Amino acid sequence: MASSKREQLLNTALQLFYREGYHSTGIDRILAESGVAKMTLYKHFKSKDELILAALQVQHEQIAARMRQSLEELAPREAILQAYDGLHLWLSEQGFCGCLFLHAAAEFHERSHPIHRQAAEHKRFVLAYFRGALLALGLAQAEVLAAQLQFLFEGALSMAHLYGPADQALQAKAAAEQLLVAVGV
């Protein structure tokens, strides 16, 4: 029962943080919407920051699992392009509000803050995803190209948040394909 209350808190917090932001979402609101008692919250999380870190970790684990699965099931080139297809699906979802990790880094702008560091770690994982696929293709300049692929990915995500979702991910995918062709993949 305790883990379900913890999950309930995390799921509610994730939804509220995503829609309304970290600083704008108070503990009382999370408790009211989750139906969990304050004592239960503090049994699982010592502070709001600890709740935010746990929520970001849950989100990271879900995304990382899907990306790792793509690397396992698809050829490296297809895994790279699949990331943009996945992004396109996400941008098309009802209620798209941007990137939870970018929001965290913006609201907790001090780079030494644990929440900012966790957001940066997630983005490093995305870079490592691209790098891993490129290394599997045997590319010598995998580090540089991985960064370029991530710039396309993150740019599409940011522009969809700023302007509203459209075909940003598909346009980024087309540019990624051009980069891959340019290096002979």
Q: What is the CATH number of the domain that holds 4?
A: 1.10.10.60
**Comparing C-alpha atoms, which of 94, 95, 91, 21 is closest to residue 55?**
21
pLDDT for 113-142, tens place per residue? Answer: 999 999 999 999 999 999 999 999 999 899
In terms of residue numbers, what domain contains 18?
A: 1-45
Give the mean model confidence (pLDDT) for residues 94-114.
Answer: 97
Residue 65's pLDDT band, with cuts at 50, 70 and 90, is very high
Please give the pLDDT value at position 1.
45
Please give the pLDDT value at position 156.
98
Please give the pLDDT value at position 34.
96
Q: 142 and 72, same structural domain? A: yes
- Check pLDDT > 90 for residue 146: yes
pLDDT for 45-54, tens place per residue? Answer: 999 999 999 9
Q: 128 and 37, same structural domain? A: no
pLDDT mean across residues, the chain: 96
* Residue bearing tokens 């509000």: 97
Please give the pLDDT value at position 16.
97
Task: Count how many domains the chain has.
Answer: 2
* CA 62 vs CA 24, 59, 69, 172: distances in Å: 24, 5, 11, 23
- Check pLDDT > 80 for residue 2: no
Q: 110 and 163, same structural domain? A: yes
Residue 174's pLDDT band, with cuts at 50, 70 and 90, is very high
* Percent of the chain with pLDDT strictly greater than 90: 97
Q: 120 and 53, same structural domain? A: yes
